[in-house]
A and B are shown apart, each in its own frame.
Chain A
Amino acid sequence: MSGVPLLQARELVRRYTMRRGLMGRPVEVRAVDGVTLALERGRTLGLVGESGCGKSTTGRLVLGLEVPDGGNVTFREGPMPPRQTAEWRRLRARMAMVYQDPLGALDRRLPIGTQIAEPLDIHGIGSRADRPERVAQLLRDVGLRPDHAQRYPHELSGGQRQRAVLARALATGPELLVCDEPISALDVSIQAQVMNLLAEVQERSGIALLFISHDLRAVRQMSHRVAVMYLGRIVEEGDPDAVLHSPAHPYSQALVSAIPQPGRGGRRIILQGDPPNPAARPSGCAFHPRCALAAALCSRAAPVLKPLPDGRLAACHVAHGTVSPRDGMPQQRAA
């Protein structure tokens, strides 16, 4: 890969304050807690994890839609300019986003064509006379017909809407596309189409993708690299085949075992304990209350994300061999 990555995020932290009840004391919630990631041109980074683990917040942070409380984002070797400045707005043409709910992301009162032309209007790209031709080309690129330009969002199917959102995102020729659960609201048959379309677009334009999803199969199919998030931290990162075939972190193991596979009955890891609550982060390794392998050290010291012998990164005392898995009641159970 050519030298410096397109996108670099270092030690991103995003906190929210939350108040429980009328007189409750404000509680600090760390949605993202020290996430570091890098993305090269033409590559795809898959970000997986259960809901509430900070995937989407990470996506919004790297786009500069939210201001990190700690850490920084570098895009094309420049720091992210402050929000809502002219420079920040100009940068929007270089980075785009695809949303989970395409109907919500489109303005239901404007025809698709007008909305696809909107980024061109905003950034003053091309002349007004070229717009219809450019919109028609964008529509063809995402597998819609030019006459769809006159349709309103509610007149399209879910897959067509997501294609329209993608066409709008690609209108300015961005270098980075953040896909926040782009397929989870779609039909299974449409999911494959949209994923193929994204891969096709990437091959054609060399765009870098940050693919956020909780669907491990989709992530494996799309990504060049996968990062698994748990409670606002990356717990394992590496080659998708390595991470998703032989996960090193116990949380990744549980995630991978939840992929339904025919003929592999009875090896599913059911996680014990409560789902993670970012307002009450456990001490040490955040995963230790639910971990089958947790040793005494795990509840005291938080493991660092560092390379394993095979090159991938993991944050786990057991995987690194610092401690041996505790003996006792195995929490691995047949489904």
Chain B
Amino acid sequence: MSDLALPATISAAPPRRRRVRLPPLVIFAIGWLSLMLLTAFAADLVAPYPYTALDLRNRLSPPVFMGGTWLHPLGTDELGRDVLSRLIVSIRMSLLIAFGATAIGAILGVTLGFLAAHFRGAAEQAVLALVDFQASMPFLILALAVLAFFGNSLPLFICLLGLHGWERYARIARGLAVSASSQGYAAAVVQLGASPWRVYTRHVLPNIASTLIVSMTLAFPEIILLESGLSFLGLGVQPPLTSLGNMVGYGREYLTRAPWILLAPSCVIVLTTLSVSLLGDWLRDRLDPTLR
């Protein structure tokens, strides 16, 4: 808030664009997420071992800070696979799934919500029925059915997780779009002659983006956890492929003897979801000129 200008200085000069000063937590969040993204992209280069390589003589060896050796900095699992290497590959897999599924859910939900708000009538009833249907059906049953009929593949799995939570975006988008177009800025822009495409993409979407971003930051951790749950049930990412949830699920059996197997991916899940929430919160405030 460096230039809360005095009335006298407002007179002629246009308001200066404020320099973005980042709060420390946001710096941390951006740093952590960039680290995760870098890791994901360069997984093959930075992983010290192939993620399936076995080191049978060093099974369940503890990480460095628990008295282990630098041979396996984060220790090994019950088959002697390097936890660090597996973690790196898991990060790639989990980020791909979480970002992909969140994006699919948001795009699908917002599109359907806007269609419902624009056409009203039968289209709206259909979308709302679909929303209620989705909200009332246990997601696990849907997931089981889809994966049982179509088999398990990564793209299908991502699309399936994208179906999780779209109904929330649809509800938010429809409600806010209806209220915007019944009165206020959207109606004003329609009166100016704007096409519906322009109204929704240029005006309604930016105005409801803050709410959608918050919803997305809530959905992101949920999807990571859902992925781990499904993987644990044998519906998600299957061995030898690995993901964060998958690692937590299989590390559970060694919780007392070798907690590091579960600890490393758990920490990554917590820090990543926390960073996404922090960043989303900050981004929402930044996108709103009235809060700047």
- Seen from chain A, the residues whose Cβ lies within 8 Å of a Cβ on chain B are 63, 65, 84, 89-93, 96-97, 99, 101, 104-110, 118-119, 122-123, 145, 147, 149-152, 154-155, 165, 168
Contact = CB atoms under 8 A, between A and B. Distances in A.
A147 B188 contact: no
A84 B199 CA distance: 12
Nearest to A84: B196
A135 to B, nearest CB: 13
Interface stretch (B9-17, B20-28, B84-92, B149-157): B9-17
A109 B192 contact: no
A104 B14 contact: no
A91 B191 CA distance: 10
A150 B12 CA distance: 12
13 contacts: A65-B190, A92-B192, A105-B184, A105-B187, A108-B207, A109-B288, A118-B192, A119-B193, A123-B193, A147-B12, A147-B14, A150-B15, A165-B188
Contact of B15 (A65, A93, A101, A155): A155
Contacts of A93: 193
Given A105-B185, A107-B207, A109-B207, A92 B193 contact: yes
B15 A168 contact: no
Contact of A108 (B187, B195, B290): B290
B203 interface: yes
Nearest to A65: B191
A89 B126 CA distance: 28
Interface in B176-218: 183-185, 187-196, 198, 203, 206-207
Contacts of B121: none
Contacts of A90: 193
B206 A109 contact: yes
B289 interface: yes
Contact of A106 (B13, B188, B193, B288): B188
Contact of B194 (A104, A122, A147, A155): A122
Contacts of A107: 185, 189, 203, 206-207
A281 to B, nearest CB: 25
A106 to B, nearest CB: 6
A94 to B, nearest CB: 10
Interface residues of B, number: 25
A104 B184 contact: yes
Nearest to A102: B188
Contacts of B194: 89, 118, 122
Most buried by A among B185, B194, B195, B206: B185
A143 B1 CA distance: 29
Contacts of B206: 107, 109
Nearest to B118: A84
B193 A97 contact: no
Given A84-B196, A150-B14, 4 more contacts: A104-B185, A107-B203, A107-B206, A152-B289
A316 to B, nearest CB: 35
A84 B118 CA distance: 12
A85 B196 CA distance: 11
Nearest to A149: B14
Contacts of A155: 15
Contacts of A63: 191
Contacts of A109: 206-207, 287-289
A119 B192 CA distance: 6
Nearest to B195: A89
B29 to A, nearest CB: 24
A86 to B, nearest CB: 9
A168 B185 contact: no
Nearest to B191: A97
Nearest to A146: B14
B230 to A, nearest CB: 38
A110 to B, nearest CB: 8
Nearest to B186: A107
Nearest to A92: B193
B289 A108 contact: yes
Nearest to A95: B191
A177 B196 CA distance: 23
A99 B185 CA distance: 10
B47 to A, nearest CB: 43
Contacts of B191: 63, 65, 92, 96-97
B290 A168 contact: no
Interface in B216-273: none
Given A90-B193, A122-B198, A108 B185 contact: yes
Nearest to A63: B191
B290 A105 contact: no
Contacts of A108: 185, 207, 289-290
Most buried by A among B183, B188, B196: B188
A221 B165 CA distance: 57
Contact of B290 (A89, A101, A145, A152): A152
A104 B13 CA distance: 26
A65 B288 CA distance: 30
A262 B256 CA distance: 90
A96 B194 CA distance: 13
B193 A122 contact: yes
A254 B211 CA distance: 49
A97 B184 CA distance: 12
Interface in B2-56: 12-15
A151 B13 CA distance: 11
A99 B193 contact: no
Nearest to B209: A109
A63 B188 CA distance: 12
A145 B15 CA distance: 13
